[in-house]
Homo-oligomer: A and B are copies of this chain.
Amino acid sequence: MDYSQTSLEKHKQFKGKIAIASKFEELKTKEDLSVAYTPGVAAVSTLLGQHPELASEYSIKSNTVAVVSDGSAVLGLGNIGPYGALPVMEGKALLFKEFGNVDAFPIVLDTQDPDEIINIVKNIAPGLGGINLEDFSAPKCFYIENKLKEILNIPVMHDDQHGTAIVVLAALINACKLANKIPKDTKIVVCGAGAAGTAITKLLCAYGFEDLIVVDSKGIISKDRTDLNNEKKEFLEFTNKENLSGDLATAMKNRNVFIGVSGPNVATEEMVNSMAEKPIIFAMANPIPEIDPVMAKSAGAFIVGTGRSDHPNQINNVLAFPGVFRGALDNKVRKITDKMKLAAAVALANYVKENELTVDFILPSPLDRGVVSVIAQAIRE
Is A294 located at the chain interface by the 8 A CB criterion? no
* B45 contacts A97, C-beta separation under 8 Å: no
- CB pair B90–A28 under 8 Å, yes or no, is no
A268 to chain B, nearest CB (A): 23
Write the nearest CB–CB distance from A289 to chain B, whole angstroms.
12
Chain B residues with CB under 8 Å of A44's CB are: 7-8, 11, 87
Most chain-B Cβ atoms within 10 A of its Cβ — which of A58, A77, A94, A122?
A: A58
Residues of B near A184 (CB, < 8 A) are: none
Contact between chains at B127 and A57 (CB < 8 Å): no
Closest approach, in angstroms, between the C-beta of A317 and any C-beta of chain B? 10
**Could you say which of B10, B55, B74, B367 contacts A35, with CB atoms under 8 Å apart?**
B10
Choose among A34, A40, A85, A107 the residue with the greatest number of B CB atoms under 10 Å from its CB: A40
Count of chain copies: 2
A194 vs B366: C-alpha distance when bound (angstroms):
54
**CB-CB under 8 A for A94 and B36, given A59-B16, A82-B127, A124-B107:** yes
By beta carbon, the residue of chain B nearest A51 is: B83
* Contact in complex: B82, A110 (CB < 8 Å): no
Does residue A364 face the partner (Cβ distance < 8 Å to B)?
A: no
Task: Assess the A22–B15 pair: CB atoms within 8 A.
Answer: no
Q: Which residues of B contact A98 (CB under 8 A)?
A: 22, 26-27
Interface string of A150-162 (1 = CB under 8 A from B): 0000000000000
Chain B residues in 8 Å Cβ range of A309 = 30, 33-34, 38-39
Whole-angstrom distance from the CB of A202 to the nearest CB of chain B? Answer: 24
Number of A residues, CB within 8 Å of B: 107
A74: which B residues are within 8 A, CB to CB? 45, 49
List residues of A (136-169) whose CB comes within 8 Å of B's CBs.
Answer: none
Interface string of A59-85 (1 = CB under 8 A from B): 111110000000100111100111111
- Any chain B CB within 8 A of the CB of A295? no
What residues on B are CB-neighbors of A104 within 8 Å? 20
Which of B6, B10, B47, B83 lies in contact with A52, CB distance below 8 A?
A: B83
Contact B23 A16 (CB under 8 A): yes
Beta-carbon nearest neighbor of A44 in chain B: B87
Contacts of A80 in B (CB 8 A): 45-46, 48-50
Q: Which residues of B contact A48 (CB under 8 A)?
A: 80, 83-84, 86-87
A230 at the interface (CB under 8 A from B): no
In the complex, chain B residues whose CB is within 8 Å of the CB of A45: 74-75, 77, 80, 84-88
Residues of B within 8 A of A97 (CB): 20-22
8 A-B pairs with least C-beta separation: A49-B84, A7-B40, A49-B80, A3-B40, A4-B43, A16-B60, A82-B126, A52-B83
A-B contact list, 10 entries, CB within 8 Å: A3-B40, A15-B59, A18-B21, A19-B23, A24-B94, A45-B85, A48-B83, A48-B86, A52-B83, A86-B127
Q: Given known contacts A3-B35, A8-B44, A11-B59, what 7 new A-B pairs fall within 8 Å (CB)?
A: A3-B39, A16-B61, A17-B24, A38-B91, A45-B87, A48-B80, A109-B124
